[in-house]
Structure 1
């Protein structure tokens, strides 16, 4: 089969590799669509959980091609969204009901073979039938599941005034969750006018264009919207410089949510006295597990909309073009088609 292989930092090939074989509790899947994520760029650089060689791709929609001998509840030909997380269930974090921090955490496309390939294998219980949901909508199940985890961590109070930095795919999904989850107002700030247009289309109450050449002017516009600060400020870009601005934009007693993934060696200068004296809360949102059922329900009901998010589609052999597209200002989400 063909697969994208990250064989060392900053280098990949599209090449022929052996077809995977399912174990008794697994299914073999033929990939239909796999989303490009910012995490893929971190992995290609050798960051996060990268183990080379790696077949990346963790936002997966696929068709069941064959069944392991112990599999029930799925049929050949079923279209499924694949939960990429595999947890041991018996380590100390799992026993403490913290499965996201499983000592043996295994993630398809992150530290195990993923969806940028013709075929992959997955545990049967991690395959969620689409039941008529369009694949190009279902391909956003995994990023929406991550956004749901972020909303769970934030635990927003009804009537809150929320600022979200970043209008990438998960930022746009998270903004919608906040709109439906009790926020009185959601403001999205980002440098791309096109992405801000999408944010407005999907329900953001206010948008502010961040001018990279004059960030202070952009912050003044945000302060004019909320002179006393926002109840919750969410950093969804992964840029340390943006996170550094978040405490000053947060109301006394408010919360900063670190949602975007920065580099492992990045640091941000905070004033401990400001956190102490204004009783600010800083939370992190890492990934997702056990969120696929809720994500699929949101997508099936249309409560979370996806129109305008997927802007680019590429065949597997043009994986490099897909990576380049998501670095642009007009591309929101790129998908590699099987």
Structure 2
């Protein structure tokens, strides 16, 4: 098959490779759409921790074209998505249904070949049907489930005022779920006017460009000096990771969805706010719960299928498989504004 193969940091070669043999409990999926995740690009500019050569891609949808002898839930021609996380189902955390905390997990797109290829092999238990859902929308289920995992975990209440730091793809999807949850007001915070305008069009009530405006003055203005009930960090910035602790009200909650790729040093005030304001601080990793893969995934498919959540407009660029390196150059070098970038491995020119 053809694949976009990673040989070293930001060195992707479009080439022929041998497909892995299909195991008895696996299906082979013809990949129709695969999204580039922010974590993919961070790995590309820092340090790749896994074996090389590798094939990335863990947000994907496609068609079942072959199945192993022990597969009974799917047939050839079924439209599906793949779940990239492969828990061991045997450690302490898996036994408790806390699959995201598995101590010996596999991961499609890092520890095994991913979806930036014409085909990918996936265990039957890591596949969900999508019915007639559009393939590109279906490839957004994984980030949508990540966003829902955080929103479900922070437990917003009707009437809450919520600040969302960073309105990239995950931030926008968090906003979608917050609207479903019935919060009173959503404040979008970013340094891009274009992103903030998109957030307002998506249903945010207020926005703050923290590069141009005084964040703390605006939060005080919008909340009558009280602070927000919930701050959700979706940017993965060491700056916003501290700011969340400075804008949250007494007895408020802070949720971290963005990955920290640098050391985070807290000011005395930020750290003291945790105990003086008795804040609840929670982190959210991945998107899984019991029964595997969890309500995050099944609910995301259901809401997309019924048109209750819109994601197609978040997709800004589409690339053929042979142009995967160009797609990563676009993102890493910030050659132009972008949202979700899709690779379409089986689309013809």
TM-score, normalised via structure 1 length: 0.93
- Measured at CA, do residues 230 and 285 of structure 1 come closer, stay the same or move farther in structure 2, by a change above 3 Å? same
Q: Report the count of equivalent residues.
A: 334
- Please report the RMSD computed on the Cα atoms of aligned residues, expressed in angstroms: 1.8
Dislocated runs of 4+, deviation >6 Å: none
Pairing partner for 1:337 from 317, 336, 344:
344
Deviation at 1:10, TM superposition (A): 4.0
Q: Distance in 2 between matches of 1:322 and 1:127?
A: 26
Pairing partner for 1:306 from 311, 320, 325:
311
- After superposition, what is the alpha-carbon deviation per residue over 1:121-153, rounded to whole angstroms, capped at 9, x for unaligned? 001222212211111211110001111111122
1:190-205 aligned within 5 A: 190-205=190-205
Deviation at 1:270, TM superposition (A): 4.5
**8 Å Cα contact 1:235/1:242 also seen in 2:** yes
Q: Distance in 2 between matches of 1:270 and 1:157?
A: 29
Aligned to 1:275: 274
**8 Å Cα contact 1:54/1:113 also seen in 2:** yes
Q: Distance in 2 between matches of 1:177 and 1:158?
A: 13
The answer to whether the aligner puts 1:284 opposite 2:283 as a matched pair is yes
SS at match of 1:246: helix
- Measured at CA, do residues 154 and 314 of structure 1 come closer, stay the same or move farther in structure 2, by a change above 3 Å? same
- After superposition, what is the alpha-carbon deviation per residue over 1:13-36, rounded to whole angstroms, capped at 9, x for unaligned? 222211122100101111101001
**8 Å Cα contact 2:11/2:325 also seen in 1:** no
Moved more, 226-235 or 90-99: 90-99
Deviation at 1:46, TM superposition (A): 5.1
Pairing partner for 1:316 from 296, 321, 324:
321
**8 Å Cα contact 1:198/1:308 also seen in 2:** no
SS at match of 1:5: strand
Aligned to 1:217: 214
Q: Distance in 2 between matches of 1:293 and 1:178?
A: 17
Q: Any unmatched runs of 5+ in structure 2?
A: none
- After superposition, what is the alpha-carbon deviation per residue over 1:309-335, rounded to whole angstroms, capped at 9, x for unaligned? 001100112112222334546311110
Q: Distance in 2 between matches of 1:325 and 1:204?
A: 28
1:56-135 aligned within 5 A: 56-135=56-135
- After superposition, what is the alpha-carbon deviation per residue over 1:232-272, rounded to whole angstroms, capped at 9, x for unaligned? 11111011011111111111111111111121x52231533
Q: Distance in 1 between matches of 2:77 and 2:197?
A: 38
- After superposition, what is the alpha-carbon deviation per residue over 1:38-63, rounded to whole angstroms, capped at 9, x for unaligned? 01012224558644332110001111
